[in-house]
Amino acid sequence: TIEHIFKEIFKASLELQEDDHRKALLVSRKKKPEDTVITLKGHQVGSGEPSFVFGPCAVESYEQVATVAKAIKDKGFKLMRGGAYKPRTSPYDFQGLGEEGLKILKQVADEYDLAVISEIVNPADVEMAAKYIDVIQIGARNMQNFELLKAAGAIDKPVLLKRGLAATIEEFINAAEYIMSQGNGNIILCERGIRTYEKATRNTLDISAVPILKKETHLPVMVDVTHSTGRRDLLIPTAKAALAIGADGVMAEVHPDPAVALSDSAQQMDLKQFDEFVKEVQPFSQQSGMRI
Amino acid sequence: TIEHIFKEIFKASLELQEDDHRKALLVSRKKKPEDTVITLKGHQVGSGEPSFVFGPCAVESYEQVATVAKAIKDKGFKLMRGGAYKPRTSPYDFQGLGEEGLKILKQVADEYDLAVISEIVNPADVEMAAKYIDVIQIGARNMQNFELLKAAGAIDKPVLLKRGLAATIEEFINAAEYIMSQGNGNIILCERGIRTYEKATRNTLDISAVPILKKETHLPVMVDVTHSTGRRDLLIPTAKAALAIGADGVMAEVHPDPAVALSDSAQQMDLKQFDEFVKEVQPFSQQSGMRI
Amino acid sequence: TIEHIFKEIFKASLELQEDDHRKALLVSRKKKPEDTVITLKGHQVGSGEPSFVFGPCAVESYEQVATVAKAIKDKGFKLMRGGAYKPRTSPYDFQGLGEEGLKILKQVADEYDLAVISEIVNPADVEMAAKYIDVIQIGARNMQNFELLKAAGAIDKPVLLKRGLAATIEEFINAAEYIMSQGNGNIILCERGIRTYEKATRNTLDISAVPILKKETHLPVMVDVTHSTGRRDLLIPTAKAALAIGADGVMAEVHPDPAVALSDSAQQMDLKQFDEFVKEVQPFSQQSGMRI
Amino acid sequence: TIEHIFKEIFKASLELQEDDHRKALLVSRKKKPEDTVITLKGHQVGSGEPSFVFGPCAVESYEQVATVAKAIKDKGFKLMRGGAYKPRTSPYDFQGLGEEGLKILKQVADEYDLAVISEIVNPADVEMAAKYIDVIQIGARNMQNFELLKAAGAIDKPVLLKRGLAATIEEFINAAEYIMSQGNGNIILCERGIRTYEKATRNTLDISAVPILKKETHLPVMVDVTHSTGRRDLLIPTAKAALAIGADGVMAEVHPDPAVALSDSAQQMDLKQFDEFVKEVQPFSQQSGMRI
């Protein structure tokens, strides 16, 4: 057993090195104790006030996006989402409008003075996309598409990184490190549910990930209540839980007419449900004195 | 394909029957739309005001339990937990004090006028236990120990039923139905985390289960923040999330000296942490105007 | 960091103790290097020759069991299964014939000279059941019903212990230790699939568990191909895989008329499928020179 | 309920369409009942004889690859693997030699007359890589990197597609469809373990996926025993199980000196273990009369 002790001493020194290594992560609080705050068209993400991101799953037309943009602006929000490149399980499902969709987003964003977030799926498209949109989203399926992470890290544009379907929190943090190691530290992390055996919800919202990510990193953390639950009836309660636990923001999908949506029709809110969502969630965040 | 249509018509009528069957569940909202409220030594669980259950993982001695009971009473709470029968992974780990532990719980509960919750693991012990304690707890490992469920359903004593380690919400609801079908409808459901691939927390708190259970059943729903996270640093944020999402109560473990606890020493709060927990969580539930 | 080194030295000595503890497990190979062989009416389980256990999910009538018993005997097998106590998700599903079912099993087993395996779910029934059956089965839902494990450990009758729905291999081994620590070392372990996100099969057969259990313990290991897959079309290939990887036996459900079965009708083989199963799997185990 | 019946009739016709859609999948057996056979330097994958793929996790040097290549050729095998682009959790881990690595693979493959399989991670690299290697591998993390799938589908080179970490079988089949829908039907599917709660193995080998994939598609199916188990001591038994259940081939990592490997050092076989593996697994596949 003396042999074992020596083996452990050796192991301990190895771990020390590893620990130093981890300490060195650019995204870690150990490296930078202050919160990273990201400013988007004047709105600050990560400053203590909750941020809200709304918009359709996929960009379908100018009219569709403009209708939602108007509702967002009317409620005083600043951030809009909309997918132009849609990663879909089947190659025969609607794949998004591509660059055309990005152009629509830019036009609408300019008209309504909103910052726009859209998913990019090919490293070759990152630079092009940066001309149209305010935040590059890297989706759950691409969380370990390291070439895409590196490409997003090489430009000067905020990145919203979603947690992978079955990614550990440690892998998620390392994925963010891929981006930051290329020079781009403007990263928003987004918990969007993980895959478990439970089928009552589309995914299982791992709410505890929020305080862990806030503790381990200096990055803003959002919760996507639409993809984590996949159920319209859970959007309001999970949004409250997300804000209560300390998330910097909430994402939810809004579509003028979900029934005819080209993707995810079952889980998007229509404009009336959007009203109700805001009426329920906004005062909650104020009354509960979040961050004060 | 006309054949297929007919097959589907047949299937649809089958499903209708099944749906009726589900409608018939005694624990369902369909059967009883009003919330079930359970009164424990004057305190109401499920009435809209959040309930808090504190206490040590295991009963170790009169002094240990009394110390915690005093702290609970001083803060104005009414519900205490403490394990006398401990289901442990290894047969060589501390198995609890058994009936002796229940006697200690009763003595302390009487002295401090608290209602006490304790886990019972053998159907043969249910009646005996009912003499000492106010709520029979059925633990996660026994959620589908149907003989135990039936025994708990046959007595006139509230039951706190924890969700199984890998139970679906549907299985959880059916386990409660086992109890109620024997005549006992005073059941508190308790979400305590599910087993997933993620290892940053002991289990993954399935926070969305709370609104689903509230919607599907008329029973009070609590969240055990200790067992779901297994991390002392997550107790406060997850308790806030639980209340924000609509849980009727929160359970958390408190021990006078966690370092020497005979079980789960790493995750129990000491009395100072307990103070801090209450100072953070209680005003949150008031300010956020929960249930008003 | 010198401090850290010392902490690690301390940790290492702790681990050494823990390792000794593990070494001490009665079910471990470290404790007893030779394979445990269990003899049932002359048939040896764990001796190197594969064992096969067939029979209906639930005992429904004398005729039903006798029909299957005859088919089993005609094929030269010795082990039959059949459930008299059925743990069912809903309290309104068929719960088994109880002691009446055990009597039927005994009568048929005597007539066809078979050894019979049946699940017991209440500690209070273990002694009674031992009069009727040759092997006490403890089912997946009760793998951590420690009172039941202790009761089964206190009698002189072999026990077939199924792995829990979401039990780790370590928990499974410790559950067996609960039985053996009471004095009963005649334990057969049974892998029956674990709960994962994949829904193409009822559970996910964790085939790697077989060699791990064979390495860590001295107990025979079987694979239940019916419950792990829940699909009749996968019984033959998974049985081959189980034998190829070193399982001591295979369990599969056979019912004279699955369509009218009172439980699990979709996954049981009828007698013709049973013929085919034996015709495919038996020669495979011989040709592949298993264990020779 | 008459209303419900009509709703179901409508739903049924929708499902009919969906079913037709699924029937139309190019990779499905419904579309093409005969097995797809892929010929690589004269060796046929999917013809009924098992295929074996060996080689180091990562290409480190000409000498390293050549040493393994010689061992492969000496044993009469034809297929070699080796990673030039390594997707690693941390950006600070060895990322592979890139095109330099592909050149080494090509040189060695030419010298030893082997076909070589290597992972490509960027759609922009697919065409370049096709000049050096015989099979483009798409790794688990990129199974739903649809841009990469499309790029691999657009060239005339076989593709080995690994199942994603937490991909359902249905998603896996659809990922293959992305490739085939671009014109390239020479696809080998590879089961490599899925992520579950069990930590005794690196991943959980989902052995049942093999017969399901063989039934649902016409593509050859391999099993990667190294990544599914992550344990050297399980390579031989799981390889036997894979062949017994009907896999068309087995992949395993071999390194001349695993202890100094730049990645995955704990799970690669050294040359002596490689000998033993072949000595155990090859006769098994012959004696068990696989496919005859």
- Pair A217, A33: CB distance under 8 Å: no
pLDDT-derived band at B184 (thresholds 50, 70, 90) equals very high
Mean pLDDT of A31-39: 97
Give the range among A42-51, B20-29, D53-62, D273-282 with minimum mean pLDDT.
Answer: B20-29
Q: What is the pLDDT of residues C249-274, one digit of tens each?
A: 999 999 999 988 888 777 899 999 99
Minimal CA separation from D86 to chain A, in Å: 10
- Pair A59, A105: CB distance under 8 Å: yes
In this prediction, residue D183 carries a pLDDT of 97
SS3 A149: helix
Mean pLDDT of A72-99: 96
- Per CB-CB distance under 8 Å, the chain C contacts of D279 are none
What six digits make up the tokens of A196?
A: 């478990």
Mean pLDDT of B171-198: 98
Residue A182 has pLDDT above 50, yes or no: yes
Contact C208 D205 (CB under 8 A): yes
Residue B214 has pLDDT above 70, yes or no: yes
CATH architecture type of domain D34-287: Alpha-Beta Barrel (3.20)
- Per CB-CB distance under 8 Å, the chain C contacts of A9 are 5, 8-9, 12
In this prediction, residue A260 carries a pLDDT of 87
Q: Which of B170, B194, B241 sits opposite A196 (nearest CB)?
A: B194
- Pair B94, B58: CB distance under 8 Å: yes
Contacts of residue B111, Cβ cutoff 8 Å, sequence gap at least 6:
B66, B69
In this prediction, residue B86 carries a pLDDT of 95
- Per CB-CB distance under 8 Å, the chain B contacts of A199 are 168
- Per CB-CB distance under 8 Å, the chain C contacts of D237 are 208, 210-211, 244-246
User: Rounded mean pLDDT of chain A?
Assistant: 93
Nearest CA in chain B to A170: B200
Q: Which subunits count as partners of chain A given 3+ CB pairs below 8 Å?
A: B, C, D
d(CA A214, CA A207): 12
Residue C189 has pLDDT above 90, yes or no: yes
- Per CB-CB distance under 8 Å, the chain C contacts of A5 are 9, 12-13
Domains of chain D, by residue range, sit at: 1-31, 34-287
d(CA A154, CA C156): 70
pLDDT-derived band at B260 (thresholds 50, 70, 90) equals confident
User: Rounded mean pLDDT of chain B?
Assistant: 93
Greatest Cα pair distance, chain B, in angstroms, is: 75
Residue C28 has pLDDT above 50, yes or no: yes
Residue C201 has pLDDT above 60, yes or no: yes
- Per CB-CB distance under 8 Å, the chain C contacts of A15 are 8
Residue B167 has pLDDT above 60, yes or no: yes
- Pair D77, D249: CB distance under 8 Å: no
Tell me the one-letter amino acid at C127: E
Minimal CA separation from A152 to chain D, in Å: 14
Contact B233 A211 (CB under 8 A): yes
Phi, psi of D255 (to 5 degrees): -140, 140
Residue A292 has pLDDT above 60, yes or no: no
Beta bridge partners of residue C160, listed in sequence order:
C137, C188
Which of D141, D150, D195, D199 to probe the A interface (max A CBs under 10 A)?
A: D141
Q: Is the dihedral of CA D28, D32, D33, D39 positive or negative?
A: negative
Mean pLDDT of B158-171: 98
Kindly list the residues of chain D whose beta carbon comes within 8 Å of any beta carbon in chain A. 21, 87-92, 121-124, 141-142, 144-148, 165-166, 170-171, 174, 177-178, 181, 195
pLDDT-derived band at A159 (thresholds 50, 70, 90) equals very high
Which of B163, B206, B208, B238 to probe the A interface (max A CBs under 10 A)?
A: B208
Nearest CA in chain D to C283: D288
pLDDT-derived band at B62 (thresholds 50, 70, 90) equals very high
In this prediction, residue B283 carries a pLDDT of 85
Beta bridge partners of residue C119, listed in sequence order:
C137
- Pair C121, C139: CB distance under 8 Å: yes
Angle at C14 between CA A16 and CA B60, to 5 degrees: 120
pLDDT-derived band at C25 (thresholds 50, 70, 90) equals very high
Mean pLDDT of A191-207: 97
CA distances from B106 to B77, B85, B128, B262 (A): 17, 15, 13, 20
Beta bridge partners of residue B224, listed in sequence order:
B251
In this prediction, residue C290 carries a pLDDT of 55
- Tell me which of B10 and C34 has the higher pLDDT: C34
Residue A227 has pLDDT above 50, yes or no: yes
Minimal CA separation from C2 to chain A, in Å: 10
Contact A145 D146 (CB under 8 A): no
Contact C89 B142 (CB under 8 A): no
SS3 D115: strand
Tell me the one-letter amino acid at C88: R
Kindly list the residues of chain D whose beta carbon comes within 8 Å of any beta carbon in chain C. 166, 168-170, 194, 196-201, 204-212, 215, 228-229, 233-234, 237-238, 240-246, 284, 287-289
Q: Which of B111, B85, B117 is nearest to B99 (CA)?
A: B85
ipTM of the complex: 0.93
d(CA B122, CA C251): 29
Kindly list the residues of chain C whose beta carbon comes within 8 Å of any beta carbon in chain B. 21, 87-92, 121-124, 141-142, 144-148, 164-166, 170-171, 174, 177-178, 181, 195
Query: The domain B31-287 is classified under which CATH number: 3.20.20.70, 3.40.50.720, 2.60.40.10, 1.10.287.130?
Result: 3.20.20.70
d(CA D141, CA D203): 14
CATH architecture type of domain C22-287: Alpha-Beta Barrel (3.20)
Mean pLDDT of A210-232: 97
- Per CB-CB distance under 8 Å, the chain A contacts of B243 are 244
Tell me the one-letter amino acid at B149: L
In this prediction, residue D284 carries a pLDDT of 84
- Pair B139, B84: CB distance under 8 Å: no
Q: What is the pLDDT of residues B79-100, one digit of tens each?
A: 999 999 999 999 999 999 999 9
Q: What is the DSSP string of C209-276?
A: HHHHHHHHBSS-EEEEHHHHH--GGGHHHHHHHHHHTT-SEEEEEB-S-GGG-SS-TTT-B-HHHHHH
Residue C100 has pLDDT above 80, yes or no: yes
Contact B91 C177 (CB under 8 A): yes
pLDDT-derived band at A18 (thresholds 50, 70, 90) equals low
In this prediction, residue D273 carries a pLDDT of 97
- Tell me which of D8 and C103 has the higher pLDDT: C103
- Pair A75, A114: CB distance under 8 Å: no
In this prediction, residue B23 carries a pLDDT of 60
Strand-pair category, B51-55 with B79-81 = parallel
Minimal CA separation from A54 to chain C, in Å: 29
- Per CB-CB distance under 8 Å, the chain A contacts of B209 are 198, 200
Other C-beta atoms closer than 10 Å to the C-beta of C20 total: 11
Q: What is the interface size between B and C, counted as CB pairs within 8 Å?
A: 67
In this prediction, residue D264 carries a pLDDT of 79
What six digits make up the tokens of D196?
A: 């579950």
Residue C22 has pLDDT above 60, yes or no: no
Beta bridge partners of residue A190, listed in sequence order:
A162, A222
Write out residues in chain D with pLDDT < 70, as ranges.
1-23, 288-292
Residue B19 has pLDDT above 80, yes or no: no
